[in-house]
Chains A and B, each alone.
Chain A
């Protein structure tokens, strides 16, 4: 069926191409015409069908806070501030702001012409209700709530002025406010029970959620009153699309087949094996960007043996051939991300990219030093009769490419004498194990637009249980007072040279502690029909926005 589609598609294209050549050659205006068509003016009609892999657990991005939620949130929520590609913060729902000299109070002057799609006007009350909602333990917010732990309270000065008080200075505050995870919802809607707000949250964004048919799709309608687009957008006023269908097609090959067959207009999470075919397909264009933060990784649990021993951690990381996986199952399309920060993150330093490269000889020496000197009949190293075993739970929702990467890690680490057990389980069981520190390696990532991600992923402040399943944002269990001091100091200053220096030291400490096998950057990967124009990625997290998008009729 798949190849059938491919054949008929390329057949059609060929025919169309031949036709164009015959028609256009005598006129000599082919190229110009084609260009004019691409740059044509937007039309305010039609539906766009967008297909993605994972379904959110809740449509309110304040709850839990995983990537599928923010992709949906970006369509129906606005944020207080926006961020451009250079990282500069611009107004959005807040038209301006003042920061007190001690960095503890942010006075936001709000737009007065904004209304939520349930009719509630946007006021200082909404700012307070949203920030309070994010930090409320009942919301079980791992991401948004984790980002604003410094939040103390909001003072309502008048209907369109709000002062946000922080308990400690937080230099990354505006950056995280620009993320869709901290989008502003209708305060009226937030008073409803959590499950109801998860099913049908309300924002002030360019689209509003009409329905969520689980395991199938979310339907959005255009918000016709919208005229408060951020300066990063290409236009102002209502969105061009009348409707958006947000479908869930978990199977990568089926998702790619759907966009090839023009059953859907755009897909995300384009699988690596489909990248070259997508680029060669005359009917498609691709849009890709790395997301800032802590790259895709396996985090080593240092709270129990064998990874409580740093020598064993370094040996494990050095025994795994990540480049091999990137060249095979990822078809050379993914770059290696060696350090604790993705290259697109502010204050990233390339100096730590090769801190723990594949080096089986060194791995063997380290294991000998650590006392894992004998080997059993299977070639697995032993110490005091104990086998060198590494447990890696793999969740059912993990992609096949990622799964294969870990199989390759298993195979290469085995050559050094590690018995790596890949334990397939449903997502709920894996979440439960993470909550109990019952793993040696935890497969994950953390997308955020600031180097402060280091504090969330590695500082002792984030060792407690978080989110719905009670996982830990600091999944390695690393606790180092010097590191904690540095990442906190980096939040006290807005001087970028000072921050760069502090984040350099922080990257150095975690690299030297061998806490993660970092693999490749998290990437937004879209394949889009050429009938569709101006799908953009919002620079704060490189998340899709359909606000400027339009479909040729």
Chain B
């Protein structure tokens, strides 16, 4: 791992990026699905004309039909519309928390790897302490402190996921720190900040990108799990985890209320993981 990662970042040509689509149907589907998600998050009105909050009690529990392709929930709200409008929330939480996790990870890993022996030891200890809490428990603890809602959820999931990424980057930086090309740069008289900018960050970028792409699916699952427990955005927000949770009592009578949000969560996880895998193999084959 360290041998390949100490290599400089390869430049990818557009032609090489497109190449795999013909070979991998899975990747094509994943990219199409992610495009659909981004579209739903940016312009939900293009995908549905409904109002995600508009209740119609007399139409409650309608099974999937032409009018309501995915059926209606216990308040008669259209599930397709709510899924589409819930995408933004789920993606914002997923991407927001992964960005936060990576920022926290970098903030700890950089001084830990390059700040001298005391800093290195301290950062190691901090990771040990954070790792003694399982990530989801840590996230639960933080939502208890920050109360519920989208922003607290990002903080909770982001900080909960940070130790994992932090330790990964820390190991990465330690390997880079001792690499011969850094030593060469240092002996040429380059300043530490320049070394950081032109050697360390580009070399750390690759694993960061892969981890980020694969992690979005994971954080969406976490966020859904926390909203399932009632810690997500307050009602009437259309959030996938909350939809799943509110439908679970009716699974025998109206399976569609729980089923479709569940499918959306699973597909998002699969699509982002497929993307992440592709990026990983792509960079690694490019490098070797």
Instruction: Name the CB-closest residue of B to A405.
Output: B75
Q: Does A3 sit within 8 A of B, measured CB to CB? A: yes
- Contact (Cβ within 8 A) A324 B235: no
The 0/1 profile, CB within 8 Å of B marked 1, for residues 410-448 of chain A is 111010000001111110000000000000000000000
Q: How far is the CB of B141 from chain A (nearest CB, A)?
A: 13
Instruction: Name the CB-closest residue of B to A1.
Output: B251
Within 8 A of B (CB), among A304-338: 321, 324-325, 327-329
Instruction: Name the CB-closest residue of A to B248.
Output: A253
Among B58, B230, B249, which residue has its beta carbon within 8 angstroms of that of A401? B249
- Contact (Cβ within 8 A) A424 B234: yes
Among A252, A411, A414, A423, which residue has its beta carbon within 8 angstroms of that of B75? A411
- Contact (Cβ within 8 A) A411 B253: no
Q: How far is the CB of B11 from chain A (nearest CB, A)?
A: 47
B248 to chain A: which residues have CB within 8 Å?
251, 253, 400
A328-B58 CB under 8 A given contacts A273-B253, A400-B246: yes
Query: Among A271, A329, A403, A423, which residue has the most Cβ atoms of chain B within 10 A?
Result: A329
B234 to chain A: which residues have CB within 8 Å?
421-424
A423 to chain B: which residues have CB within 8 Å?
234
Instruction: Name the CB-closest residue of A to B59.
Output: A328
A273-B58 CB under 8 A given contacts A404-B74, A407-B75, A410-B235: no
Q: Does A2 sit within 8 A of B, measured CB to CB? A: yes
- Complex Cα spacing A312 to B231, Å: 31
Within 8 A of B (CB), among A356-408: 396, 400-401, 403-404, 406-408
- Complex Cα spacing A277 to B249, Å: 13
Q: Does B148 sit within 8 A of A, measured CB to CB? A: yes
- Contact (Cβ within 8 A) A328 B230: no
- Contact (Cβ within 8 A) B249 A408: no
A273-B249 CB under 8 A given contacts A411-B75, A411-B236: yes
Q: Does A112 sit within 8 A of B, measured CB to CB? A: no
Instruction: Name the CB-closest residue of B to A400.
Output: B249
Among A253, A329, A421, which residue has its beta carbon within 8 angstroms of that of B252? A253
Q: How far is the CB of A281 from chain B (nearest CB, A)?
A: 12
Q: Does A120 sit within 8 A of B, measured CB to CB? A: no
A407-B57 CB under 8 A given contacts A253-B252, A328-B75, A328-B76: no
B246 to chain A: which residues have CB within 8 Å?
400, 403-404
A426 to chain B: which residues have CB within 8 Å?
144
Q: Does B250 sit within 8 A of A, measured CB to CB? A: yes
- Contact (Cβ within 8 A) B148 A329: no
The secondary structure that dominates the A interface is helix
The secondary structure that dominates the B interface is loop
B235 to chain A: which residues have CB within 8 Å?
403, 406-407, 410, 422, 424
Q: Does A6 sit within 8 A of B, measured CB to CB? A: yes
A274 to chain B: which residues have CB within 8 Å?
252
The 0/1 profile, CB within 8 Å of A marked 1, for residues 232-250 of chain B is 0011100000000110111
Within 8 A of A (CB), among B50-79: 53-55, 57-58, 60-61, 74-76
- Measured as residues with beta carbon below 8 angstroms from the partner, the interface class of chain B is 20 to 34
Q: How far is the CB of B139 from chain A (nearest CB, A)?
A: 16
Q: Does B147 sit within 8 A of A, measured CB to CB? A: yes
Instruction: Name the CB-closest residue of A to B229.
Output: A396
- Contact (Cβ within 8 A) B236 A410: yes
Q: How far is the CB of A323 from chain B (nearest CB, A)?
A: 8
- Contact (Cβ within 8 A) B251 A408: no
Instruction: Name the CB-closest residue of A to B253.
Output: A273
A424 to chain B: which residues have CB within 8 Å?
148, 230-231, 234-235
Instruction: Name the CB-closest residue of B to A276.
Output: B253
- Contact (Cβ within 8 A) B55 A324: yes
- Complex Cα spacing A321 to B251, Å: 25
Instruction: Name the CB-closest residue of A to B255.
Output: A3
- Contact (Cβ within 8 A) A408 B252: no
A327-B58 CB under 8 A given contacts A396-B230, A400-B246, A422-B234: yes
Q: How far is the CB of A431 from chain B (nearest CB, A)?
A: 15
B253 to chain A: which residues have CB within 8 Å?
273, 277
A408 to chain B: which residues have CB within 8 Å?
55, 57, 75
- Contact (Cβ within 8 A) B74 A411: no
Q: How far is the CB of B261 from chain A (nearest CB, A)?
A: 15
Q: How far is the CB of A326 from chain B (nearest CB, A)?
A: 9
Among B147, B230, B231, B249, which residue has its beta carbon within 8 angstroms of that of A253? B249
- Contact (Cβ within 8 A) B55 A412: yes
Q: How far is the CB of A33 from chain B (nearest CB, A)?
A: 33
- Contact (Cβ within 8 A) A253 B251: yes
B75 to chain A: which residues have CB within 8 Å?
325, 328-329, 404, 407-408, 411
Among A329, A421, A422, which residue has its beta carbon within 8 angstroms of that of B74? A329
Among B60, B144, B236, B249, which residue has its beta carbon within 8 angstroms of that of A271? B249
Counting from the closest, the 10 A-B pairs by CB-CB distance are: A324-B57, A328-B60, A328-B57, A411-B55, A329-B74, A422-B235, A407-B235, A400-B249, A404-B74, A424-B230
Give 4 A-B pairs besides A253-B251, A406-B235 with Cβ atoms closer than 8 angstroms. A253-B252, A271-B249, A328-B61, A407-B236
10 contacts between A and B (CB under 8 A): A253-B248, A253-B251, A324-B57, A324-B58, A328-B58, A400-B246, A400-B249, A411-B236, A424-B235, A425-B147
